[in-house]
Amino acid sequence: MSWRTTSPMDERKRFIQEWRAAAEPVTALCARYGISRKTGYKLLARYEAEGWGALSERSRARHHQPHAVSRAVERAVVEVRGAHPRWGPRKVRAWLQRRRAAESWPAASTIGAVLKRHGLVGARQRHGPAAPATQPLAGAVGPNDVWSTDFKGWFRTGDGQRCLPFTLTDNASRYVLRCQAVPTGDEAAVRPLVEAAFREYGLPRALRSDNGPPFASTAVAGLTALAVWWIRLGIVPERIAPGHPEQNGRHERFHLTLQQETAQPPAATGRGQQRRFDAFRREFNEERPHEGIALQVPAALYPASPRPYPARLPAVEYPGSWGVRRVRSNGEIRWAGALLYVSAALRGEDLGLEEVHEDCWRVRFGPVVLGWVDTRRPTRSRRRPAPKLLPMCPV
């Protein structure tokens, strides 16, 4: 029971003074003060043992916490966080469980409390729920289904050198295949890095990029020399919709982590920046738990592709019933007695023409539809115009 007055200390003193005067029994005294006999006898015992100082309010907290985090555990948590300042409680816990599996580690919420107690985390900015976006990422069911590639925005190192990182990742496992600073963002700089990745890891089913060079162009089907090479290798070039980087969200999120871990601030020199990229790539693949793959590390989930990089570039084949034409050096083919411009990016490549309706032919380069050609004869009232590659079949 609680004291009836708002001054518990004064009431306790008066209770002791009346008990010492032996004016009435303890039972009657407790009833008059509105407390239980148990509370009264406990107060008397404390007074006899410690004097008047024992009457002050005491904490009701346990003197011993059986589930308290030990100093050794707390020290290990702080050490991991110190080595990886951007890791949250779940990543810290997953890393400790993997590296020191024989020990018992507290829940992520407890680790978060430890980090907060040591001033290692701040208030997290909350965002409203976002609508789920599964396309076109839904195709990345397993490793090597879809690779993503892009350039991280360029910046200058401490010595003023321009640094343009080129990145290549596997969408399903999040494994970083390449992270390399390149002098320019053209095919000459990118192709050797992609080819080295093909030789090391094999070929993916599809390769996703944005709509900028050297991955895409304004030519027919957005083809570039790099995309033509991928198609010859049996790789489908996938491009996100213009202005929608969220369609390649996994790769974009990787770029944010890359920037935070390696370029804030940049290294003093270009070579030093590349060393940072190399160290980050090793840590990201082999040490850093990734929440998108159940706090596993990408290296544990990524196997090389079963499709090896061929020694010779295979030819594109078409059904025997199709017409096949080779693209001239100026990007034209000859069809139905006339010259038809297709694309200079396809010079030297074989195209397949499939008749889908009478006098309407679909033009393909491998699996990619380039357009349609109308070969109907002109009427007497008009001359036959030069044939053009049409975006849809006119009949």
User: What pLDDT does 312 receive?
Assistant: 93
Angle 337-343-348 (CA atoms, 0-180°, nearest 5)?
80
Within 13 Å and on the Cβ side, how many CA atoms surround 72? 5
Distance CA 303, CA 293 (A): 15
Determine, yes or no, domain membership for 13.
Answer: yes
Output the six-digit token pair for 16: 């002791």
Q: Of 301, 336, 355, which closes a domain? A: 301
Considering the domain architecture, whether residues 247 and 374 belong to the same structural domain is answered as no
Q: Model confidence over 270-302: pLDDT tens digits? A: 999 999 999 999 999 999 999 989 999 999 999
Q: Token pair 């919709």 is at which residue? A: 241
Residues 282 and 145 both lie in one domain: yes
Same domain, 329 and 297: no
* pLDDT score at 127: 47
Same domain, 144 and 266: yes
Report in angstroms the alpha-carbon separations of 240 from 181, 251, 306: 23, 12, 26
Instruction: Look at the pTM and tell me if it is higher than 0.85.
Output: no
Does residue 63 form part of some domain? Answer: no
Residues 159 and 264 in one domain: yes
Low-confidence ranges of the chain (pLDDT < 50): 3, 5, 127-138
294 with 158, same domain: the answer is yes
pLDDT score at 336: 81
Domain presence at residue 310: no
218 plus 291 within the same structural domain: yes
Regarding whether 162 and 207 lie in a shared domain, the answer is: yes
Q: Which residues have C-beta within 8 Å of that of residue 320, sequence separation ≥ 6?
A: none
Q: Structural domain tally of the chain?
A: 4
Domain range for 30 = 8-55
Q: Are residues 186 and 284 in the same domain?
A: yes
Question: Is there a single domain that holds both residue 112 and residue 232?
Answer: no
Within a domain: 134: no
Nearest to 181 by CA among 271, 265, 268: 271
The answer on 243 and 97 residing in a single domain is no
Residue 306 lies in a domain: no
Q: Are residues 290 and 155 in the same domain?
A: yes
Residue at 150 is within a domain: yes
Q: Is residue 385 in some structural domain?
A: yes
Round to whole Å and give the CA distance between 333 and 253.
Answer: 43
Q: Is residue 239 part of a domain?
A: yes
Give the tens place of pLDDT for each residue, 162-190: 999 999 999 999 999 999 999 999 999 99
Q: Is 90 exposed, middle or buried (0-12, 13-18, 19+ CB in 10 A)?
A: middle
At 252 the pLDDT is: 92
d(C-alpha 336, C-alpha 387), whole Å: 9
pLDDT at 382: 53
